[in-house]
Amino acid sequence: ATPQGLLGLIGSGIGQSLTPALHQQEAGHHGLRLHYQLIDLDRFGGSAADLPWLLSAVRAIGFGGLNITYPCKQAVIPHLDELSDEAREMGAVNTVVIRDGRLIGHNTDGSGWARGFRRALPQADLGAVALLGAGGAGAAIAHAVLRLGADELRIVDADPARAAALAAELGPRARAAADAAQALAGATGLIHATPTGMAKLPGLPLDAGLLHAGQWVSEVVYFPLDTALLREARARGCAVSDGGGMAVGQALGAFELFTGLTADADRVEHHFRQL
Ligand code: NAD
């Protein structure tokens, strides 16, 4: 397939997204000229209801692909011609490849998290994993960590029904835990997938006293990269990986789907950390 030179991101509140820079720079290293356009729903008071005409427009203009983010990851599905197994399993799409006018939905969030996690914490013990947050990011990561071979996944969410529903969908290796204390007791590691710790929502998502040396902590928050949770975890002797790994990992996966090329993970990671 001939790589197309025009890509975009559809979502809300994406003005600060680093994704265009990551794709454009990596494309440049492969001798490709690529324009990556932010299609910010907030610019025109748009919503997921605008997807039909937006998708017709990008198809007509000749986009080669799109990333999809909040609030469109589920809403986009009925408008696509095909879904990858991963996107179908998760019920969410973050990447759409456009080939011969056909829209093919993929999801690189879970596999992107796994790429970042493996790089940062290659020795991590997946014996008993606690997952805090069963929203969009948490669900994608839950599928991915089981695919990586986790023996047991204990899911906690402030909304217990959400944790229970995700556990039921995932099968026998997953279960909902009553609270963070129960999930972390004897756990080998923690994945944090709530928004707590973001610049606009500072603080700790759990009592840091529950963490101890020997456990690993994987953070999804990446604005900022260094969160209170990561600082507390490091201070307690935990091995940690920050939210940049997933942000880079999902972009690497999308770049490869869009272009058919293999991205240089070290180069993209290095570039991300300079932005
Ligand atoms: P979401 O709103 O879909 O889900 C968040 C979930 O966390 C909700 O179910 C909520 O009930 C739960 N929750 C909130 N506070 C909690 C607490 N203290 N204890 C237990 N549960 C709690 O959000 P999302 O889309 O999954 O995003 C979560 C975070 O992940 C955001 O900060 C987002 O920026 C980040 N994220 C990072 C990447 C990346 O590439 N690093 C990718 C996607 C999302």
This complex has an ipTM of: 0.99
Is the CB of 144 inside a 6 Å radius of any atom of ligand 1? no
- Two domains, one topology: 6-107+246-274 and 110-242: yes
* 261 Cα to the center of ligand 1, angstroms: 31
**Ligand 1 atom having least distance to the Cα of 250:** 40
Is the CB of 110 inside a 6 Å radius of any atom of ligand 1? no
Decide: 11 and 71 in contact? Cβ < 8 Å. Answer: yes
pLDDT tens figures, 1-13: 445 599 999 999 9
Q: Is domain 6-107+246-274 given the CATH code 3.10.20.340 in the classification?
A: no
Domain ranges of the chain: 6-107+246-274, 110-242
Decide: 180 and 154 in contact? Cβ < 8 Å. Answer: no
Residue ranges of the chain whose pLDDT lies below 70: 1-4
pLDDT tens figures, 167-181: 999 999 999 999 999
**Quick one: pLDDT at residue 1?**
47
Which residues are CB-neighbours of 59 under 8 A, at least 6 positions away?
98, 101, 103
**Quick one: pLDDT at residue 169?**
96
**Quick one: pLDDT at residue 23?**
97
Residues composing the chain? 275
Class of the CATH domain delimited by 110-242:
alpha beta
Given the residues 73, 115, 143, 162, select the one marked as catalytic.
Answer: 73
**Quick one: pLDDT at residue 2?**
45
pLDDT tens figures, 180-193: 999 999 999 999 99
* 134 Cα to the center of ligand 1, angstroms: 7
Between CA 22 and CA 10 the distance in angstroms is: 16
Is the CB of 193 inside a 6 Å radius of any atom of ligand 1? yes
